[in-house]
Amino acid sequence: MNNKIINIGILTVSDRASQGIYEDISGKEILKVLDEYLTSKWNAVTAIIPDSYEDIKFKLMQMTDKEDCCLVFTTGGTGPAARDITPEATEVVCGRMLPGFGELMRYESLKYVPTAILSRQTAGIRNQSLIVNLPGKPKSIRECMQAVFPAIPYCIDLIGGPYLECNTDNISVFRPK
């Protein structure tokens, strides 16, 4: 239906994972969930970087502008601690923000942990790409992706990106008529 290669960015933001102190289980979980959801042929563009404002900004711009990712998921750096800076770096590269993503992900995570309100995760549009901040923990990543993914293919249609086809056994995607 659509022959363009679909590139999706997976950006792990973590001082320790970027130094190899521990394995990037978060990025791997995003990849696994996307493999379950997507039937379109897609290509993962991955990177692991420290909690640095400049590095996150640079990588988000590179993934969207140069590496043609219509969709980028970040993981990590959304908490209240001094080093957490992913939402600020996301906001500065986006032309418009989508507050509903953060609201729904926090609402969803609140079903499991009251500390969900500490997450500052957000989402926004950069030109023809959607950037979504996910939490750091694999379990929360899956919960949040399940909550927001149903709206993502239509969002990418609206901003002029490729048509994502999904496995309806695993995720129920919605496109208004």
Q: Which of 148, 162, 164, 166 is close enough to bind a second copy by CB under 8 A? A: 148
Q: Which of 104, 142, 163, 165 is close enough to bind a second copy by CB under 8 A? A: 104
Instruction: Provide, rounded to whole angstroms, the least separation between the CB of residue 151 and a second copy.
Output: 5
Q: Which is nearer to a second copy, 4 or 99 (CB)?
A: 99
Q: Which is nearer to a second copy, 55 or 91 (CB)?
A: 91
Structure tokens at 159: 């901003």
Q: Which is nearer to a second copy, 47 or 56 (CB)?
A: 56
**Cα(52)–Cα(50) distance, integer angstroms:** 5
Torsion sign over Cα 21, 66, 41, 148 = positive
103 touches a second copy (CB under 8 A): yes
Residues that bind a second copy (CB under 8 A): 79-82, 84, 88, 96-104, 106-107, 110, 113-120, 125, 130, 148, 150-151, 154-155, 158-160, 172, 174-176
